Structure 1
Amino acid sequence: MFSSGFRRVFKYSLVGSAFAATGYSLQQNNYDINSIGIVRLTRAAVTVFEIGSAYRNKLYKSNFEKGSNEYNDLKSKIHKKSAEKLLDLCCTNKGVYIKVGQYLATLDYILPNEFVQTMKILYSHAPKNDLKDVYKVLKEDLKKDPDELFESFNPEPIGTASLAQVHKAVLKDGRCVAVKVQHPYVQGNARVDMKTMEYLVKLMSYVFPEFRFQWLVDETKKNIPQELNFELEAKNAEKIEALFKDIRWLRVPKILWNFTTPRVLIMEFVEGGQVNDLDYIQANKIDPYDIADKLGKLYSEMIFKHGFVHSDPHPGNILISKSERGDCDITLLDHGLYAVLSDEFRFNYANFWLSILDKNRKTMRLYSKQLGIDGDLYGMFACMVTGRSWDSINKGIVVDGVATKGELDVLKKNLPSILPQMATVLDSVNRQMLLIFKTNDLIRGIEHTLKTSKKMRAFKVMSECCVNSVYDQKKVKCSSKFDKLKILLVQYWTLLKLNIYYKYLQLSTFSLRSL
């Protein structure tokens, strides 16, 4: 038992620490009242309580029969209002909340469409800071007044994200650069915000038993410290440039290390349009299929060859431009978050893909288990990896082509009934898989925008990389040249079959268009 004197000292120490932390947070955030932890926590708790109450009192206690048109209309309205409340919370608390809100916008296979569409606003309308706040960070970190460093500095950011914003500037020596500056409030609020979100997720899981998003909290807690260190981002950029040094169409902006700190990153400025900007693509006469091929090759080699995967591939981070060769160059931006994949994970994931291509349920079950998914959930896992229905996987997704509108409508219609299974998969799967899900979904979204998905170009490239990854690893383990030759022949035969399937798909598509 502790003495009463010790308890008093302990209690007052906690109170003193809380006041000290609050004072530090206020100082770091220009004495903005919104930076106080208790204010942010209370705001978040009130929002979650209001959302939970709306579902409990207005939907669950309504007189409408579950599944009826009236029930579904009411549910859609509550989804929309709740999503707007959540969006307001993200925009007010900013920082980590924006980051999580953006991630929620990618979970269209789990969350209602009203949430996904509402949260997507955060990608293009993330809050920005005043120029004086940007200059404050630059002066603190670079130890010089911005006027001493820059010949010109565009006051309007060319890009604003959850944790930072980017400005175009010209250095005194005439070099045109992109200046990435961390939002001043992020560092002071990140730890409190993460703890708050953990409590809120537990509260939401109480209101909605099927709400199993602890994995999202765990991943955010692990990833945010990496993304807040711009020196690590600079090292990632140089690493990916070295890994792909032989690919002439990939561009990674050069880092200016003399002007780089954990909160400031200055790099070469690269011209280009966003990968989903169809007007830019048409105006510059860039072939969208060339873009799809190169994206497929880039991300497939990251996953299956190098095990080092750029994990924030939303359109704002991928630029395209017409090259002097006449084809397109791809510029990769924002290297703050990478998934580092183990050899074992890559081997199991590649084999899981091959089992899907072969329609082999036995090996699907085997390799899904190796990736953390037990029992009959291997089918749900396969659907989430491919973005296809189980019927399509059984028919053969290589020959079957891409998902039709009817297939997507069926998937969305059945979403409420399969949501608990999806949540279980996300809660159980190997943690390395979570960023792969995000990468797969966003690449599919880019292909859909480019209208290249019907020819499955990225799918073909990824499948070839997958095959090469599996058989290259098998060759390494061979003890004789004869065994290596046998595996090499099987590898070539598998690639040949894949190409025959793909040619068949193209001819079938062409024949249908000709009718």
Structure 2
Amino acid sequence: MQSASPDPTQAQMPPPGPPPFSEGETASRKQPPLIVGMLRDGASGGQRAQFTAVLAFIDAILRGVEQTAWAFRDVADSAVDVWDSAQTDWQRLSDSVSTTAGKLAPMPARLARLTSAGWTLTKIASSYRLYPTRAAFLPRKVGKRLLESIHRKNAKRFLDTAISEGGGFLKLGQLISSRPDMMPAIWVDELSSLQDAVPTEEFEPLKAIIEEDLGASLEELFLSFDEEPLAAASIGQVHRAVTLAGLPVAVKIQRPNIRAAFEIDLDLFEIFIDSMKSMFPPTDYDTIMRESRAMILAELDYEAEAGHLGRASRFFEGLEGISSPRPVVALCGPRVMTAEFVEGRNISVVLDELALGREAGDPATEARLSLILNRLFEGYVKQILDAGLFQADPHPGNLLVTDDDELVVLDFGCTKTITRETSDLYLKLVQLMVLGDVDGMTAALGKLGFKTASGDTKSLRGLSERLVKKLSELATPGKGRAMPTSIEDMLNEAADILEEISEDPVTSLPDEFIMLGRVMGTLGGLFAHYKPEIDYSAVLMPILGRAMAN
């Protein structure tokens, strides 16, 4: 049934008075009629046109909020006005899409997700965009407190959305919580709880995925299969089973329709980050988002993960005290991955117990705690510099400790490969750090792909000087606690670096460094919390010696 099209000018926001814009800027405010047209085109077009229209709609809200904020209108009222004015066209789009042939099942859920998550991001963006105007009329200290309040409120908004929506927002929240260089400290602290806040999935849809991917019934594939999950993550969940040959295994099954949810979430988050760059610490957000998107979507390929896991388990066979389970290739598919089951406990649980023993004066627990974290440090250094690939998601849920204190690295869905040439450049960089060669380090950072806004190397040199000071301590015998002594110290160091280079920020980063930063941030948090006694030189020097010999 057709209905009369409303006057497109009804979607425009009436100016609250003489607009403080130039003629060109005023013209840029006339977005709604264009957006209405795009929405109608999307409603009658294919899937690509629909997504383009919906994303344009979200972007229009962001633009509208930004423009009205600069016109000194109350942000909440402005956002609601924009939303209400487009409500009719939004409903028409939703109704049309829901009846589009071939898309009856997935599209309404996707639109509901866009409505909920997009509106949350709109509120976050609008509150930040109004902040400079509000702060201009406040004393500096009051303005600082206001910004902290905005950070806290918005981090909680994002946390609630990540928990309720799951999917890409949950994964991105987990990533943010390990990146103090990317987001304000309040966000990092608030989102850290997402490492454990993952709901489980009903078993029947997962059973259907197993049988579809592996081409047989569950009874024909496994001797036994526990329907209660061992663990749940943003992408899938893990169940214990026994193969027909009697091998205990862990089976990871992907959540239904998770790819569609992730793609929507990533598109929305890219719009959000692009609109908020001026409010966050200066860095290469384009590379961060590109690499994060590639990494997250790569995690959906369980067959590739099985290949990475097999390669890692073979590499760890040459290291003492660290391993990864071997995959059972015959029971792996695009959305199902099976690997041998390894008994162990979450590394945080074990380290917490050992830390309590250390506080009670037990030297044996101190030695065990340091041994486990030494194995973790050595395992990651050698993955990055020797193996040519590394597991890029070392949060505690992916690290087990066995009864004999062997470290087990799980989940190679988030894996980054590094070419031999790039590994050699990082080896060279570490060598130069130990030698204290700031000029050489500055040049090496440039070769790796670090670039500043101006093209000048002053900021890279400042970064090199900091790294020399910190990492030369780590490579000096006896400096067992050269890591930051607390999470606060780690965040302060990151803030100091960002402040130091703020005049000419690093605006281009090498792709692999995004994942390296995630690893360093996560491991740095563990080391800062548990404060192990480690001789870092015992790990670094043999690797550097072999590199120099070559």
Measure the CA separation in 2 of the matches of 1:252 and 1:390: 31
Measure the CA separation in 2 of the matches of 1:248 and 1:26: 54
Match of 1:372 in 2: 449
Indicate which of 307, 311, 315 corresponds to 2:388: 307
Is the contact between residue 347 and residue 399 of structure 2 (CA under 8 Å) also seen in structure 1?
yes
Is the contact between residue 474 and residue 537 of structure 2 (CA under 8 Å) also seen in structure 1?
no
- CA separation of 1:343 and 1:207: change in aligned 2, threshold 3 A: same
Indicate which of 517, 530, 550 corresponds to 1:437: 517
Match of 1:133 in 2: 205
> What's the TM-score, normalizing by structure 1?
0.76
Match of 2:291 in 1: 219
Measure the CA separation in 2 of the matches of 1:314 and 1:417: 27
Cα deviations by residue, 1:224-258 (Å, 9 ceiling, x for unpaired) = 33211111111111111222333353332232222
Q: Give the deviation of 1:415 after TM superposition.
A: 7.0
Match of 2:127 in 1: 54
Measure the CA separation in 2 of the matches of 1:394 and 1:262: 41
- CA separation of 1:48 and 1:395: change in aligned 2, threshold 3 A: same
Is the contact between residue 181 and residue 495 of structure 2 (CA under 8 Å) also seen in structure 1?
no
Measure the CA separation in 1 of the matches of 2:189 and 2:41: 51
Matched, 1:14 2:46: yes
> What's the TM-score, normalizing by structure 2?
0.71
**What one-letter code is carried by the residue in structure 2 that aligns with 1:115?**
W
- CA separation of 1:110 and 1:197: change in aligned 2, threshold 3 A: closer
Cα deviations by residue, 1:391-448 (Å, 9 ceiling, x for unpaired) = 94499564573335696575366477358479x43x4121122212222222222223
Measure the CA separation in 2 of the matches of 1:309 and 1:216: 18
Match of 1:402 in 2: 483
Measure the CA separation in 1 of the matches of 2:542 and 2:344: 28
Matched, 1:183 2:255: yes
- CA separation of 1:469 and 1:71: change in aligned 2, threshold 3 A: farther
Is the contact between residue 308 and residue 339 of structure 1 (CA under 8 Å) also seen in structure 2?
yes
SS of the equivalent of 1:238 reads helix
SS of the equivalent of 2:239 reads strand
- CA separation of 1:249 and 1:391: change in aligned 2, threshold 3 A: closer
Measure the CA separation in 2 of the matches of 1:22 and 1:249: 56
Match of 1:233 in 2: 305
**What one-letter code is carried by the residue in structure 1 that aligns with 2:114?**
L
Deviates more, 1:248-257 or 1:277-286: 277-286
Match of 2:537 in 1: 460
**What one-letter code is carried by the residue in structure 1 that aligns with 2:123?**
E
Root-mean-square deviation (CA), in Å?
3.5
Is the contact between residue 167 and residue 258 of structure 2 (CA under 8 Å) also seen in structure 1?
yes
- CA separation of 1:247 and 1:173: change in aligned 2, threshold 3 A: same
Is the contact between residue 90 and residue 101 of structure 1 (CA under 8 Å) also seen in structure 2?
yes
Deviates more, 1:196-205 or 1:76-85: 196-205
Measure the CA separation in 1 of the matches of 2:531 and 2:211: 46
Is the contact between residue 450 and residue 508 of structure 2 (CA under 8 Å) also seen in structure 1?
yes
Gaps of 5+ in 2: 1-39, 51-96, 358-363, 452-456
Matched, 1:319 2:396: no
Identity within the alignment, %:
22
SS of the equivalent of 1:120 reads helix
Q: Give the deviation of 1:124 after TM superposition.
A: 0.6
Q: Give the deviation of 1:104 after TM superposition.
A: 0.4
Matched, 1:446 2:526: yes
Measure the CA separation in 1 of the matches of 2:180 and 2:537: 24
Gaps of 5+ in 1: 1-7, 384-388, 476-515
Q: Give the deviation of 1:335 after TM superposition.
A: 1.1
Cα deviations by residue, 1:47-66 (Å, 9 ceiling, x for unpaired) = 22211222344674044322
SS of the equivalent of 1:276 reads helix
**What one-letter code is carried by the residue in structure 2 that aligns with 1:61?**
R
* Match runs of 1:113-512 below 5 Å: 113-171=185-243, 174-205=246-277, 210=282, 213-277=285-349, 278-279=351-352, 287-323=368-404, 328-374=405-451, 375-379=457-461, 381-382=463-464, 392-393=469-470, 398=475, 401-404=482-485, 408=490, 411=493, 414=496, 417-418=499-500, 420=502, 424-425=505-506, 427-452=507-532, 455-457=533-535, 459-472=536-549, 475=550
Cα deviations by residue, 1:359-414 (Å, 9 ceiling, x for unpaired) = 2221121111112234112245447xxxxx57944995645733356965753664
- CA separation of 1:106 and 1:382: change in aligned 2, threshold 3 A: farther
Is the contact between residue 359 and residue 393 of structure 1 (CA under 8 Å) also seen in structure 2?
no
Q: Give the deviation of 1:114 after TM superposition.
A: 1.7
Is the contact between residue 181 and residue 498 of structure 2 (CA under 8 Å) also seen in structure 1?
no
Is the contact between residue 151 and residue 171 of structure 1 (CA under 8 Å) also seen in structure 2?
yes
**What one-letter code is carried by the residue in structure 2 that aligns with 1:50?**
K
SS of the equivalent of 1:319 reads strand
- CA separation of 1:271 and 1:197: change in aligned 2, threshold 3 A: same
Measure the CA separation in 1 of the matches of 2:118 and 2:370: 47
Cα deviations by residue, 1:64-96 (Å, 9 ceiling, x for unpaired) = 322x1x333332222111001112222233222
Q: How many residues align?
A: 445
Match of 2:117 in 1: 44
Cα deviations by residue, 1:473-505 (Å, 9 ceiling, x for unpaired) = xx3xxxxxxxxxxxxxxxxxxxxxxxxxxxxxx
- CA separation of 1:236 and 1:433: change in aligned 2, threshold 3 A: same
Cα deviations by residue, 1:166-205 (Å, 9 ceiling, x for unpaired) = 1223345543221101011212333333333322222223
Cα deviations by residue, 1:293-323 (Å, 9 ceiling, x for unpaired) = 2222211221222222121111111111133
- CA separation of 1:46 and 1:266: change in aligned 2, threshold 3 A: same
Measure the CA separation in 1 of the matches of 2:126 and 2:388: 44
Is the contact between residue 177 and residue 187 of structure 2 (CA under 8 Å) also seen in structure 1?
yes
- CA separation of 1:273 and 1:395: change in aligned 2, threshold 3 A: closer
Is the contact between residue 48 and residue 204 of structure 1 (CA under 8 Å) also seen in structure 2?
no
Q: Give the deviation of 1:466 after TM superposition.
A: 4.4
Matched, 1:86 2:158: yes
Deviates more, 1:297-306 or 1:203-212: 203-212
SS of the equivalent of 1:322 reads coil
Match of 1:65 in 2: 139
Measure the CA separation in 1 of the matches of 2:440 and 2:384: 20
SS of the equivalent of 1:246 reads coil
Match of 2:60 in 1: none
